[in-house]
């Protein structure tokens, strides 16, 4: 029996996908029991020491995605930002990400270079609807039918619904409102009703959607893919900050290590047992 694709999974049920940015976080999410992963642009950018303002290149994002898909067999949905240019650029970007193994991707309608709307106070600048729909059509024509195409809109209110309807007409399988697109559950429900396709939601840490979008609410408003894009990043960053500050302050390393994951457990997590088993099976025995 073939493994269900991301498109198959989301057609049947609500799927949660945590934000990952490298092979280790992909492996950890797989071991935790998730059924899909999100290659979070916010987290990929942060791993490069950069804010989520499209400062990294398509190639840098693609390299991170290749590492993620190599480390886990779970289906991956990728953040391709603005497609890194016009419709032709977006089509090339989408093709490259499919070759890297992703089963879904989301692209936004911001002017490039984009910025994370959660991190700025003012409304972000959007490209005109004809330009946005052209990019969606170009991506849809460039990728296989079984790859999920999610159109993100950073508009708000009625304008967001108008754009979402146009994006569905251009070939989007799902619509992704951002956390600032709507301010109530009822508006999300209206969007689903008027647009006519499933929605993807980002339950970004410290936002109202994270607090209010319970599984029951997500089902009610037509969400089939729920991203947890920054929770792991914030947890890992907080733990690293604490450990580094303690070490820099002169606290004994053994004392700091005592509060962390034990070495022998990390060895198991990262897969040393599997490597040792392969060595035993395939490599000749060493002579004493």
Domain architecture of the chain: domains with CATH = 6-231 (3.20.20.60), 237-282 (no CATH)
- For residue 117, what pLDDT is reported? 76
Q: How far apart are the C-alpha atoms of 94 and 105, rounded to whole Å?
A: 8
- For residue 285, what pLDDT is reported? 84
Closest C-alpha among 192, 133, 203 to residue 163: 133
**Percent with pLDDT over 70 in the chain:** 99
- Mean pLDDT computed over every residue of the chain: 95
Cβ contacts of 69 within 8 Å, gap of 6 or more: 76, 100, 101, 102
Instruction: Supply the pTM of this predicted model.
Output: 0.94
Distance of CA 21 to the CA centre of its chain: 9
Q: How far apart are the C-alpha atoms of 205 and 251, rounded to whole Å?
A: 31
CB neighbours of residue 241 within 10 Å: 10
- For residue 1, what pLDDT is reported? 54
**Which residues in the chain show pLDDT less than 50?**
none
- For residue 234, what pLDDT is reported? 97
Q: What is the pLDDT of residues 142-196, one digit of tens each?
A: 999 999 999 999 999 999 999 999 999 999 999 999 999 999 999 999 999 999 9
> Percent helix, strand, coil in the chain (nearest 5)?
50, 15, 35
- For residue 2, what pLDDT is reported? 66
């Amino acid at each position: 029996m073939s493994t269900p694709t991301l498109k198959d999974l989301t057609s049947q049920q609500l799927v949660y996908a945590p934000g990952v940015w490298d092979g280790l976080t992909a492996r950890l999410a797989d071991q935790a029991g998730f059924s899909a992963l999100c290659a979070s642009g916010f987290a990929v950018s942060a791993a490069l020491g950069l804010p989520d303002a499209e400062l990294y290149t398509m190639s840098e994002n693609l390299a991170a995605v290749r590492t993620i898909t190599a480390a886990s067999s779970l289906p991956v949905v990728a953040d391709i930002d603005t497609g890194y240019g016009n419709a032709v650029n977006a089509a090339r970007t989408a093709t490259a990400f499919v070759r890297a193994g992703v089963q879904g991707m989301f692209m936004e309608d911001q002017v490039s270079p984009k910025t994370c709307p959660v991190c700025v106070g003012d409304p972000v600048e959007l490209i005109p609807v004809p330009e946005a729909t052209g990019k969606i059509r170009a991506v849809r024509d460039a990728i296989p039918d079984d790859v999920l195409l999610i159109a993100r809109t950073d508009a708000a209110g009625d304008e967001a619904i108008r754009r979402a309807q146009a994006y569905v007409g251009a070939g989007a399988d799902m619509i992704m409102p951002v956390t600032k697109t709507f301010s109530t559950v009822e508006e999300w429900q209206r969007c689903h009703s008027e647009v006519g396709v499933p929605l993807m939601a980002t339950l970004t840490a410290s936002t109202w959607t994270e607090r209010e979008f319970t599984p029951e609410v997500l089902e009610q408003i037509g969400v089939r893919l729920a991203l947890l894009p920054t929770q792991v990043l914030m947890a890992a960053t907080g733990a690293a900050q604490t450990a580094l500050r303690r070490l820099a302050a002169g606290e004994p390393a053994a004392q700091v290590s005592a509060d962390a994951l034990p070495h022998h457990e990390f060895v198991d997590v990262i897969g040393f047992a599997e490597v040792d088993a392969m060595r035993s099976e395939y490599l000749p025995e060493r002579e004493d």
